Amino acid sequence: MERVRNFSAGPGVIPVPVLETAAKEMLNYRGSGMSVMEMSHRSKVFIEIAENAEALLREIMNIPSNYKVLFLQGGASTQFSMVPLNLFRNSKKCDMVNTGQWASKAIKEAKKFGTVNVVASSEDTNFDRIPEIDSSKFSSDADYFHITSNNTIFGTRFTSLPDTGDVPLVCDMSSNILSEVYDVSKFGLIYAGAQKNMGPAGLTVVIIRDDLIGHADKSIPTMLDYKIHAEADSMYNTPPTYAMYIAGLVYQWVKDLGGVAAMQKINEEKAAILYDFLDESSMFKGTVVKKDRSLMNVPYVTGNEELDSKFIKEAEKAGFVNLKGYRTVGGMRASIYNAMPVEDIKDLVEFMKKFEVDNK
Ligand SMILES: *Cc1c(COP(=O)(O)O)cnc(C)c1O
């Protein structure tokens, strides 16, 4: 069977060259006589895989040396509690921006451990934008300030970062890490589940500034303490070895493409193909205000639920899969992560044009 054109929001597409290398190395990784899945995480051969993955990520994201890179498990969702458990260290207060479902979950979790000041929210417009952020609402004594850089479900993204001064900026970058250039030094902590832009599910990457490590209360579970993982080079327990190996291949793929800046340019071109069509179509419409449109997740509707269903059904028959929108937005959502080839987007637009003509 041909591979489908896969617009899944997550786990999402993985670059074909990465899958091909993994297939080639499945039974015998580079002369080791075994699959990466079968290796001790303490073996020389695996430690090289882990070190190589970290070095590549540091290189392509230009991560300063005073930041640790941690390869953890538990998904971005575990970070919703790990961040407050480790970063509530003085006032036990944080500022958070509510830009959608994931941000709301992060807020709900942080509230279990301290005081959350929601400084801005776009809930009243069903998260169709990034809310205006008024710095006079910031808490000067907050232990950190949390944002979700890209909102996977609603299709918005921050195009500029709030200036939080000395308050560390914490970012859930799960659905747009490596898709555009970020200055890591502007953040105290970045976290991301791997399954959108970095490989398979099961791996969570945390990039944390040194001075934010080591503040957790002694009573927290060992596995939730950044210090434990930082001191053990992410080998306190068995890390998600196979997912780390694939992530390393993805980082190499990004590097070979020209790095994150080159990736961003491709992503801007890819997204423009779809948004330009949505702007000129009389049937399909984007659901997000233009200035805050995501480069990764593109929700759109026809305005008629029956027509949406018909479109999704016919698209699937034609090999365009996972286009159904999230239930609170309805309609369609095309997730067009780094690994999605530009051809797939062009083909989708052609299909949408034809559908529009046929269903006038
Ligand atoms: C997918 C996603 C999550 C949840 O990730 P898990 O790894 O399933 O816990 C959190 N935040 C954002 C922005 C996401 O896209």
Q: What is the pLDDT of residues 93-151, one digit of tens each?
A: 999 999 999 999 999 999 999 999 999 999 999 999 999 999 999 999 999 999 999 99
| pLDDT of 1 higher than 70 | no
Give the pLDDT band (50/70/90) at residue 2.
Answer: confident
Are 225 and 265 within one domain?
no
Domain of residue 335, residue span = 259-358
Are 227 and 294 within one domain?
no
> What CA dihedral angle connects 341, 343, 349 and 352, to 10 degrees?
-100
Are 107 and 192 within one domain?
yes
Residues having CB within 6 Å of any atom of ligand 1: 10, 75-77, 102, 148, 152, 172, 174-175, 193, 196
Cα–Cα distances in Å, from 353 out to 69, 284, 350? 44, 9, 5
For residue 337, how far is its CA from the centre of ligand 1 (angstroms)?
14
For residue 194, how far is its CA from the centre of ligand 1 (angstroms)?
9
For residue 133, how far is its CA from the centre of ligand 1 (angstroms)?
23
* CATH at residue 322: 3.90.1150.10
- Counting from 1 in the atom list of ligand 1, the atom nearest the Cα of 78 is 9
* Residue to substitute in 174, 195, 198 for testing ligand 1 pocket (most ligand atoms within 8 angstroms of CB): 174
* 239 inside domain: yes
Q: What is the pLDDT of residues 139-167, one digit of tens each?
A: 999 999 999 999 999 999 999 999 999 99
Q: What is the pLDDT of residues 10-36, one digit of tens each?
A: 999 999 999 999 999 999 999 999 999
Burial of 68 (0-12, 13-18, 19+ CB in 10 A): buried
Q: State how many domains the chain has.
A: 2
Are 46 and 148 within one domain?
yes
Are 248 and 273 within one domain?
no
CB of 7 within 8 A of CB of 333?
Answer: yes
- Counting from 1 in the atom list of ligand 1, the atom nearest the Cα of 175 is 15
CB count within 10 Å of CB 279 equals 12
CA atoms lying within 13 Å on the CB side of residue 25:
18
End-to-end CA distance of the chain: 33
* 9 inside domain: no
Q: What is the pLDDT of residues 63-73, one digit of tens each?
A: 999 999 999 99
Are 207 and 337 within one domain?
no
Which pTM does this prediction carry? 0.98
What are the tokens at 288?
Answer: 């997000």
* CA angle 350–158–275, rounded 5-degree value: 15
CB of 301 within 8 A of CB of 285?
Answer: yes
Preceding omega of 11 cis (within 30 degrees of 0) = yes
Domain end: 232, 257, 282, which one? 257
Residue of the CA atom closest to atom 12 of ligand 1: 174
- Please choose, from the candidates 238, 155, 246, the residue with its C-alpha nearest in 3D space to the C-alpha of residue 195: 246
- Please choose, from the candidates 67, 74, 76, 84, the residue with its C-alpha nearest in 3D space to the C-alpha of residue 217: 84
For residue 174, how far is its CA from the centre of ligand 1 (angstroms)?
6
Q: Cα 350 from chain centroid?
A: 28
| pLDDT of 342 higher than 90 | yes
CA distance 269 to 279: 15
For residue 77, how far is its CA from the centre of ligand 1 (angstroms)?
6
CA distance 117 to 93: 7
- Give the residue numbers annotated as catalytic, written as ranges: 102, 172, 196
Residue of the CA atom closest to atom 5 of ligand 1: 76
Are 169 and 311 within one domain?
no
Domain end: 217, 240, 257, which one? 257
Domain end: 257, 284, 311, which one? 257
Are 249 and 265 within one domain?
no
Cα–Cα distances in Å, from 68 out to 32, 148, 205, 207, 345? 29, 20, 10, 6, 36
Residue of the CA atom closest to atom 3 of ligand 1: 76
* 279 inside domain: yes
Per-residue model confidence (pLDDT) at position 328: 85
User: What pairs with residue 150 in β-bridges?
Assistant: 157
Give the pLDDT band (50/70/90) at residue 327.
Answer: confident
